[in-house]
Amino acid sequence: MTEPIKLGEVNAFYRDRAKINGFLTRLDTLYTLEPTKYSTDVKKTLYAAYHIKGIAYDWISPYLQDYLDNGNGSSDTTKEIIGKWTTIKEKLHKAVMSMFKQGLSRAIQWDIRKERPDTLDELIDAAIDAENELQEFNSAQPKNNSANIARAKNRPNSANVSKPRFYGGPMPIDLDAANKKRNYTKGLLIQAEKDRRLRNNLCLYCGKPRYVVNDCRAKNNTKPF
């Protein structure tokens, strides 16, 4: 006596477009290997409906409930979907197409609206083509360099910018002040500074050039020796 073939459980189908063909093919294989158990289309569709989950189940649930509540169903659509295995396969494909389309961006939906693909594969191909065209269009547009924009935005207005300060040392007008602070000790001029002033024809009192000693205002407050 030939032992019956042991078949694994059919995995539930949720909404993954990449798995719908495998789901339906696995069911067809099961029905072929166990023709006695699944002898009618109703048995096939009910078994399939039992393995449809998630959002996809939301689509078939009203028809399944109508069939269970009203025998063969109160509407022609229910009778057609539940009563024919080929019909539910076709309708399930359409439902997945609708869910797939709803997941596309509005730009892609608008682009493929006139193509009206008949199958899920055609819809996917159309969406891919539209996406590629949109990316090519966007890549051809001039792009703003965000880094340059940020730098330009943070760059101060030249009209409001102060000129950079020079930190290399005392400016000429400040040189005497620096020398005074450095070369005086309690009002007495050190010898090195005295020699420098004599050598450069500078006033011994204030250190500035072109002074006549009698006219120097600092001579009364400063001792050069």
Q: Is 101 helix (H, G, I), strand (E, B) or coil?
A: helix
Say what percent of the chain tops pLDDT 90: 20
Q: Per-domain residue ranges for the chain?
A: 17-103, 172-215
Which residue shows structure tokens 């024919």?
84
pLDDT of residue 177: 44
pLDDT of residue 9: 80
pLDDT per residue over 187-222, tens digit each? 455 666 676 777 777 776 777 775 555 566 665 555
Mean pLDDT value across residues 50-62: 90
Q: Could you tell me the two tokens for 53?
A: 């989950």
In whole angstroms, give the CA distance from residue 78 to residue 65.
9
Poorest-pLDDT segment among 21-30, 94-103, 143-152: 143-152
Question: In the predicted model, what is the mean pLDDT of the chain?
Answer: 74
Task: Give the residue from 11, 104, 21 showing the smallest Cα distance to 54.
Answer: 11
Task: Please check whether residue 101 is in contact with residue 123, taking contact to mean a CB–CB distance below 8 angstroms.
Answer: yes
Global model pTM greater than 0.75: no
- First vs last C-alpha separation in the chain: 135
Task: Please check whether residue 111 is in contact with residue 130, taking contact to mean a CB–CB distance below 8 angstroms.
Answer: yes
pLDDT of residue 216: 66
